[in-house]
Amino acid sequence: MLKQVTATRYVEPLHSGGSVPGVVEADDLGLYVVKFTGSAQGRKALVAEVIVGELARALGLRFPELVLVHFDPAIADAEPHQEVRELHASSAGVNLGMDYLPGARDFTPEAAEGFAVDPLEAGRIVWLDALTANVDRTVHSSNLLLWPTLGVAPPRLWLIDHGAALVFHHRWDAGDPTRAYDVRHHALGRYGPDVRAADAELAPRVTEDLLRSVVAQVPDAWLAGEPGFGSPEAVRAAYVSHLLARARASAAWLPLDFPTAEEIAAENAVRAARTQQGRPDWLKQVPDLHGRPAVEQDGTVHLR
């Protein structure tokens, strides 16, 4: 089972994440990024964090240690933001912590300049994301870290944030283990990921025993009450069944056709042009703050 610690000091919230996780110090003197059970994403996001993170670690990918954090909202009563205090108040008890990596930086094209991405490692990460239907490792939000800090020692890629994976557990009756995985905007698509080699290496390792050991890490309380299931063990069995079937069907969903940077830019331009239709003239010259192209009245596209 995951190690259990007790939060002793609240350091700060991380407003960059939609779930507003917080950095805490625990009674083992470690620092952890805590994702709270009371967040808007709900407990299924924490279930996905545990299953995908522990599976990644079992397959040899770098992922920070996960712990169960006993959290008393009273240690954060000096937090000035009311919405964060309300989140803490609804999260008393056991939450999920991830080892804090000091000096780590987000993997972006700018931060990764000069960093050589190994095609096989990129393939392994893409393969894991395809297996677990992770929709949140894109060029806009890689959920990858470079650690240690560039310039101090050779950095390595570390995986984080898998709460948006396992999308099938939001509609169990529609879970298709052969469903294709969309790689058009994957963060590592431009680095020539060797997905075939990764599949040959990793697919045979995703066994029923491995999956059972992974899902056993999820606390019963986060699985209890799942509609259509009579017990936490029944939910665990469903995760094992789906992921095992998907691993065995990898030939059906193995992502191989990664678009070029030019193709992605063209697709973004078409999407932006469609978005502009029907907008008032004064708004058509306003750049898209989410990083998509701005389109002038004459149809000229400005890529940012």
29, pLDDT greater than 50: yes
Task: With cut-offs at 50, 70 and 90, classify the pLDDT of residue 278.
Answer: low
First and final C-alpha spacing in the chain: 46
% of the chain with per-residue pLDDT over 90: 72
DSSP helix/strand/coil, 32: strand
Domain ranges of the chain: 3-99, 105-253, 272-302
DSSP string, 178-212: T-----TTBTTGGG---HHHHHHHHGGG--HHHHH
Question: Most distant CA pair in the chain: distance in Å?
Answer: 62
pLDDT digits (tens, 9 = 90+) for 128-160: 999 999 999 998 899 999 998 666 778 999 999
Q: Which pTM was predicted? A: 0.86
